[in-house]
Amino acid sequence: MKEGNTYSRRQFMIMTGLACAAVVSSSSLGTLFKTGVAEAAEKPEKENINDVLKKYFGDRKVEMSHVKLKTPIIAENGAVVPITIISDLPMDKDNYVKKIYIFVDENYHPFTASAELSPANGKASLALRIKMRKTSNVRAILETNKGRLYGAQKTVKVTIGGCGG
Amino acid sequence: MAKGIGKIKIRTPRRYKKGDVIPIKALITHPMETGFRKDKKTGKRIPAYYISDVNVFYGGELITQMQWTIAVSANPFMTFYLKADKDAPLKIVWKDIKGKVFEKTVQIKPQ
């Protein structure tokens, strides 16, 4: 009786355990699959950075000089990434930086922000806090009033969960 | 979240001479919703709501014009530079996609 009891209990435990596992896995898989599909339908299509750059600048070449981009190496929170663009380009009356562009390669819409400047700014610099979806290149591109492009880029590692890895 | 939208702080250096290039720091309270986020309770998507245009006027003249997208952080904080060559008001105007306009003026007083 005793032996039979333990045996049946063990069996019962195994059976219920298996059943529970089966139910849980199937249901969680089901919901995962469902939400996965729903999110995929809602998510916008990611724009390719090269297409975006082509749209903004055509075939013009970006010279990687005169611009310094300051970013954190690791951003623990992708929703707030402080970036600073510093440039030593002149801001004279007839030779100045007309526009600053900020792009984040891996965002759905890489174009993040732009600023049209004028000689009254005195300095072609800008600091802003931006959002990043995941680890990605950040590009800053400066356009002068003569149509020349200067840029800088840097990779920022975004860790979700703040483990700092 | 809706509380305090449009609260603005602008900071200028304490002392500067005429002709100095000074940093202007501006902070505005705004949710900057991307439109991708979901309400955890209802499961509905929160519609996009962000500041799209920022204009800076110095002495009535438009000197800086920014275009922002959803990828600018919530409660945007920006720093830009200004050549303080006259005693004039500096006005910053933010415009969001619902058509709300927030503005604040500070006086630039070179010593």
pLDDT digits 0-9 by tens, A107-119:
888 999 999 999 9
The reply to whether B102 falls in a domain is yes
For chain A, what is the mean pLDDT?
A: 80
Whole-number Å distance between alpha carbons of B46 and A28: 25
Instruction: Give A23 to chain B, closest Cα distance, Å.
Output: 24
Is residue B61 assigned to a domain?
yes
**Smallest CA–CA separation between A160 and chain B, in Å?**
16
Q: Is residue A66 within 8 Å of A88, Cβ to Cβ?
A: yes
The span from the CA of B76 to the CA of B51, in Å, is 9
Residue A127 has its nearest CB partner, among B45, B62, B78, at B78
User: What local confidence, expressed as pLDDT, does residue A19 receive?
Assistant: 59
Are A112 and B34 spatial neighbours (Cβ–Cβ below 8 Å)? Answer: no
pLDDT tens per residue, range A130-154: 999 889 999 999 999 999 999 999 9
CA distance A9 to chain B (A): 41
Residue B71 lies inside a defined structural domain of this protein: yes
pLDDT in tens, A11-23: 666 666 655 455 5
Q: Decide if B49 contacts B107 (C-beta within 8 A).
A: no
CA distance, residue B59 to nearest chain A CA (Å): 11
Let me know if residue B1 belongs to a domain. no
Domains held by chain B: number = 1
Q: Confirm whether B95 is domain-assigned.
A: yes
Question: What average pLDDT score do residues B32-37 get?
Answer: 86
d(CA A64, CA A129): 23
Percent of chain A at pLDDT above 90? 50
B79 within a domain of the structure (yes/no): yes
Contacts of B64 in chain A (CB under 8 A): 115-118, 121
- Least CB–CB distance from A120: residue in B63, B72, B74: B63
Residue B70, domain CATH: 2.60.40.10
B2, part of any domain? no
Residues of B in contact with A128 (CB under 8 A): 72, 76-79
> From B69, which residue of chain A is nearest by alpha-carbon distance?
A112
Give the separation between CA A56 and CA B28, rounded to whole angstroms: 28
Q: Does A140 touch chain B (CB under 8 A)?
A: no
Chain B: residue whose CA lies nearest to A105: B71
Pairwise CA distance, residues A17 & A25, whole Å: 12
CA A93 to chain centre: 36
| Cβ distance of A114 and B58 shorter than 8 Å | no
Collect all residues with Cβ–Cβ distance below 8 Å to B111 and sequence separation of at least 6.
B15, B16, B17, B18
Given a cut of 60, is residue B78 above it in pLDDT? yes
| ipTM of the complex as predicted | 0.86
CB pairs under 8 A between A and B: 94
- Domain holding B60, by residue range, is 8-108
Give the type of residue at A89.
Answer: L
Query: A116 and B66 in contact by Cβ < 8 A?
Result: yes
CB-based burial, A27-53: b 16+ in 10 Å, e otherwise: eeeeeeeeeeeeeeeeeeeeeebeebb
With CB atoms and an 8 Å threshold, state whether A113 touches B65: no
Report residue A77's pLDDT band, with 50, 70 and 90 as the boundaries. Answer: confident
B106 DSSP β-pair partners: B90
